[in-house]
Chains A and B, each alone.
Chain A
Amino acid sequence: MLEAFRMRMFFFLGVVTLVIFVIVVQIINLQLIRGDEYREKSRMNMENYVPIPAARGEIYDRNFNPNAKSVVIVSNRPSFNVTMVPSNFKKKDEYRTVMRRLCKLLALPYDETVEGIAKLNPWERVTIKEDVDFNSIVTLATHQDKFPFIDWEASTVRVYNFGNMFAHAVGYTGSISREEFKKLRNFGYRHYQKVGKAGLESEHDILLRGSDGYIRRIVDVRKRTDVEEVGLHPVSGSNMVLTIDYEIQRIAHEAMEAHPKGSVIVMKAASGEVLSLLSKPDYDPNLIISKDNVTTIKDLMEDKERPFLNRAIMSKYPPASTFKLMTAIAALESERWDPATQLYCPGKYTLKGYVDKDFFCYDVHGTNNMEWAICKSCSVYFYQVGLRTTPTRILEYAGYFGLGEKTGINLPGEIPGFIPSGKWKQKTFGQTWYDGDTVNLSIGQGFISATPIGMAAFVSGIVNNGIIFKPNLVREVRSQDNRRVVQTFRPVKMREIPLSQRTLAVVKNGMRMVVASGTASRLSGLKVPVAGKTGTAQTRSKRMEDASQHAWFVGYAPFDAPPEQAIVVVVMVEYGVAGAATAVPVAERIFGKLLSQGYFNAEKK
């Protein structure tokens, strides 16, 4: 044959050899060099992990007894979720028909539901509706031909047994948001899980949530299952016993019913245990988690009264006359003032200066010493105490008591109060600190502000002879079966302010006199000696309006017992008429309940 033909055939032979060589090299590369990598990928293809949700811990009040019927604040209720894998539907028509039928059954808006599902990965299981009523599940089960590929799975729903009552203390849960997931993924959270959104549900989420287990399934490309086994058993979340007493919370809630806005804190001075904490307006957590009441939630979210704001820890107000206690402490501790000093109150005080300025008292109080000035809340007396003590010292003591910082209560979102300073004023207003500012400061008006929880800590510091504990809402954490105590929350000492017995005696006597014959005399009828102080904070913006005042009551009982038994009560009513008229009746009911619950009975508790 022709030599040219042979040459060209040999060239072709060369090409063939080269190609086979390349193929073999690539096979070696895939199977031998990168074999492990691809084996891992093929394993990931066929394995599918189906989570087994862990039961979330229950929440009880402080009187929980594992062997008796106890108050359950938050529990779980078994429920059903309706789910499906969208890619199981091979025909669009069929999908639409089934979805239309299903949305009708579950009372869902068709367009929104289908749009929502379209955004998700069609190969993964989608929850169409949570907490579906049992009758709908029965309908689904008996009419499988009409609802192909629609599944349901057992789940649980959180039940807030007392609705609004514990809204701000306990909070609520919800599906993890994208932002939360980014933050929490390193702590083992998964995108499909629920997470505490507010209150203790959020603060102690890790304790309550437990850890999900999973079922390991070998699945094919259409997610049909071949082999199924439990890969990891779920670990239930721990139960939580609160320091809150249901009875006290209930009474506080009832007493606050009449007031649209405000907050109450009841706290043991010697440990920081919170017996009651509530904020108005509030909301029903059950409504938030039910999800099918979208408009209600939206209304709540957009409500100008901000029901989600926990006013006990997230709002600050001028402490008003309750701050006179601070002025007194600063004056006495710095030995700038003799408590026996008598001053005459003509109803106003004129501050001498470039232009004279009058500062008024709400009454003509006559001649008083310090205790009587506290009792009658005489501002004229305290103007002069404040001027003598100097603002630096007053603010210094406000700082010692932590009014400018967070108390550290175990609730999310706490804000600190605010302690001004000369430097701050210069920076913010470009003015120096005037004597007029001092006069305002000495009666808790002007720049200073405090949160209700901050005030509770302050009062507990007076009661406790200078020691302030971290406010705490959790007594102990128990195992899921309640047999074991997993964790106990011990009192944490936050501050220790050296206060002389003389100072404490003057302030406490003054507070006792407030109740005995002063602005809170309504409380004198109780069978326990109460001490306290009222305040009427003036808000700047609405000074001229009738209800432009916030009513404060801070106090404790029993007056004469050792601090270990003392319970601090702080009542704050926004736009209340005056401390005495609005806040004191609330405090009265709380002290009454504390009494009947035996909190002041030294032998019993």
Chain B
Amino acid sequence: MAEAVLEKVNDPFADNPLVVDMQSITKRFGTVEALRGVDFQVRKGEVRALMGDNGAGKSTLIKVLTGVHTPTTGQIVFDGENVQINSPADARALGIETCYQDLALIPLMSIWRNFFLGRELTTDIGPIKWLRRKEMAVQCRESLKDIGIHIRSAEEKVGKMSGGERQSIAIGRAIHFGAKLLILDEPTSALSVKETGKVLDYIRAARDRGLPVIFITHNVNHIYEVSDSYTIIRQGKSVGTYLKGELTQQDIADLITGAREK
């Protein structure tokens, strides 16, 4: 079965503790079975790509992990503890940060306001939560610099930035807020080749900090560049998890489409 593959080869992360351990997850929407007993594990320090065709169930699986959907059956162990993730807020509280493809930032707001949105630094005067604006602007700039993202000014509006710059700010934000797990939903789908390269660099920067990354994608090339391993989902089931270099690109494409069984 799927997990057997991971164990029999030489896995550099095999000794690391499990961060995510999703066990026989099923999810039913009415009569549609979107997930049919998926096991999915990610260890500390690895970049895992999650692949699958449209409608294969990869987004549903991630939404179960980020609290957008609750699983019909199955359980989730996160960081060694059995958890119930009922809302995106629950997921964030656990340290699961997600960068959604089109739901990451607010174009009309400045970089620092986006960066701290929902986690503003405030001085409380009775019921009034006064923003510590200077402090947030400085912290935002500094922490983006730490990850290698240079911005002109934290006051600049996000709408003026390129897709790659936006994506990197969203990733930088997730790293800054001490995520234990970073999930990227199609982070490169709308980017130019050059910008994609940058985003992949930030993913490496996250890994270098020991932050595990799950990265949903269609693009086989990106997996080859940045991920340590990949899980392929098809028709609501996990086809398998493979280490980088174990399969050729053609193998991967065949497994995604189901042209060939493993």
Partners in one complex: no
